[in-house]
Amino acid sequence: MSTTDFLSLLEHALNIKKRFLGMYKSANAGHVGCSLSVAEILTFVRFGWMKETDEIILSKGHAAAALYSLLAEDGTLTEQDIATFYKNDTYLAAHPPVNKIKRIPFATGSLGHGLSIAAGLGLAQRLKKTEKKIFCVTSDGEINEGSTWEAALFIAHHNLTNVIWLIDRNRLQGFGYTEDVMQLDPLDKKLEAFGFAVLECDGHDFSSFEQAKQKTIIQTKPVAIICNTTKGKGWTTYEGQVDCHYLPMKDDQFELVMNEMDNDFERRKKELI
């Protein structure tokens, strides 16, 4: 990728984050932290990796505002659509709906079934002999669900290399730290034992994502990418804290985090040029 490409990704990410932060503030809703942790993951997949014919499944559906903002960024949704978030009669609900929005083929957010959906889609495309890829973004907390591991076994058994599994590894979930709720580490070794080629990247850094992307090309097994992130990234008041999972933003916090998004963008921009 060129410097121009990376700058474009930074601009998309800034727009996406500021848009969904505004959505959450207007709705006085929570799940800000999990959206901030996944923002760069979604941005890179959509604008730096996938083709128009590929599918993206956001299994961690409680970060729906981040997905809606992404779809507004690529033109699937309008700003008028975005303004209805969380309001009566909207189809931009707290969790992604089914058959309401282009690019959201399945409802998600009942945690643990997104990877199963991706597995089914992957096998279907294999049978159809297409080149279509299925990108599935899960939280790390939902790996507690047995259905996730069943899907992992299925993907490995059928060697579904057209399924790319990205794990938002922010190490926090609704009720505490993942390692306290149900220990996942060594996550890489567990995934390898299930038959995956496991890669890791900095889930907030696009150059790190690009390196992981290039490594997938040489893999002969299904790929799982552990994206190391920080929950509430950039929200100074609650960054890396459990409270950022549910709490909505107060007026002063909203103003602060919006300014921090701009400052972070300028810092990263300077590092590139």
| 225 bridge partner residues | 166, 199
Give residue 116's pLDDT: 97
Give residue 157's pLDDT: 98
Give residue 186's pLDDT: 98
Kindly list the distances between the CA atom of residue 206 and the CA atoms of 6, 44, 133, 172, in Å, as whole numbers in the listed order: 7, 7, 20, 22
Determine the residue type at 152: A
Here the CATH number for the domain that contains residue 174 is 3.40.50.970
User: How far is 64 from 273, CA to CA, in rounded Å?
Assistant: 33
Angle at which helices 251-272 and 3-27 cross, to 10°: 180
User: With contact defined as beta carbons under 8 Å apart, do 245 and 30 qualify?
Assistant: yes
Residue 202 is given by DSSP the state: E
Tens digits of pLDDT across the chain (273 residues): 999 999 999 999 999 999 999 999 999 999 999 999 999 999 999 999 999 999 999 999 999 999 999 999 999 999 999 999 999 999 999 999 888 898 898 889 888 999 999 999 999 999 999 999 999 999 999 999 999 999 999 999 999 999 999 999 999 998 899 999 999 999 999 999 999 999 999 999 999 999 999 999 999 999 999 999 999 999 988 999 999 999 999 999 999 999 999 999 999 999 988
User: How far is 93 from 66, CA to CA, in rounded Å?
Assistant: 12
Task: Report phi then psi at 106, rounded to 5.
Answer: -140, 145
Residue 231 is given by DSSP the state: T
User: 208: closest CA among 236, 262, 166, 238?
Assistant: 166
Give residue 273's pLDDT: 84
Give residue 156's pLDDT: 98
Give residue 118's pLDDT: 97
Domain count, the chain: 1
User: How far is 253 from 91, CA to CA, in rounded Å?
Assistant: 28
User: How far is 231 from 106, CA to CA, in rounded Å?
Assistant: 25
pTM: predicted TM-score of the whole model, two decimal places? 0.97
Domain containing residue 262: 3-272
The torsion region of residue 121 among left (phi > 0), alpha (psi -120 to 50) and beta comes to: alpha
Of all helices (H) and strands (E), which one includes residue 151?
helix 146-157
Give residue 109's pLDDT: 84
User: With contact defined as beta carbons under 8 Å apart, do 145 and 112 qualify?
Assistant: yes
